[in-house]
A and B are shown apart, each in its own frame.
Chain A
Amino acid sequence: MIPLIILTNGVLCDSIYRTAALLFGEQPNVHLISSANLAPKEISNRIGKIIDLPECREHGVLIAVDLKGGSTWNVACKSAHENKHVAIISGVNLPMLLSFFNRRESGNLNEVVDSLIDAGKRGIDKYMC
């Protein structure tokens, strides 16, 4: 099972995980980090400890952040640099998380990341009368 870190600004990480859990049930191996009040160095330390866990080393680990180019993205990219078992995706949304929780037991990290990005994009559509 691929572990997950959700790293966002403000309360988004808690809210989006809580909402996914309403649909999918509580999930193991999920780490929530809000960047609120935390220096990049402190966030980086917290990420570093998680990505070094044996289950992350064994299965790979996904870091889902909210905003590409924002502080969460920058810190995640810097923390994961030269760690080939870490994947980072930006623009986290509910369809992505649901796809991830559905597939993370069976797929490898690359496949799971590709399919969750696809699910995230497919979850954005329009309907105009």
Chain B
Amino acid sequence: MPFSLVRVDDRTIHGQVVLGWASFIAPDRIILCNDQIASSDWEKELYESSFSDSGTEINVFTRAELQQYARSEKHSKERCILLVESLQDALDLLDLNIPFKTLNIGGLHFCDGKQELTDYIFLDDDDVECLKELQSRGILIEGQDIPSAKKVNVMKLVSENI
């Protein structure tokens, strides 16, 4: 099944996604794929209940659960936003046979050792390697934090600035 949006965001499920993107895309479901959070009961509950009155189903799935979901006939017509926390996680989706053509970089914020690309994209060497690998596998990489913001050509900025 095609996802309506595949997004890398270190803040995972938060206002920009549940309020901003969800009102733009009107998804049936928002999925965060993250093995660590999905296997911690209290963290899973924290994220799944975060916007319980938003009207959108929110799930935190392990990679195995995501594969199962993507294969399921029952969900094949759903509109779904898929979130991952890091560029490495996005790259791993391809190895899990989760198909996508465009990757939205919604937020990779500042922490020690990261270099600024835009005010919401900060990268280290490993991130740049992941981006190059994603590009070499034919993925279009777009920076855009919220739907009303202008799309940024991430690879162009990387080649000019990093």
Contact = CB atoms under 8 A, between A and B. Distances in A.
A is bound by B: yes
Interface of A: 9, 36-42, 45, 67-71, 73-74, 77-78, 81
Interface string B51-89: 100000000000000000000000000000000000000
Given A39-B110, A67-B15, A71-B14, 20 more contacts: A37-B110, A37-B119, A38-B109, A39-B108, A39-B114, A41-B111, A42-B109, A42-B112, A68-B50, A69-B13, A69-B14, A69-B15, A69-B18, A69-B50, A70-B14, A74-B12, A74-B14, A74-B46, A74-B50, A77-B46
Interface in B12-33: 12-15, 18
The binding surface of chain B is classed by DSSP as loop
A3 to B, nearest CB: 24
Contact of A38 (B14, B18, B111): B111
Question: Interface size for chain B: under 10, 10 to 19, 20 to 34, or 35 or more residues?
Answer: 20 to 34
A67 B19 CA distance: 11
Contact of A74 (B11, B110, B112, B122): B11
A78 B43 contact: yes
B99 to A, nearest CB: 28
Contacts of A78: 43, 46
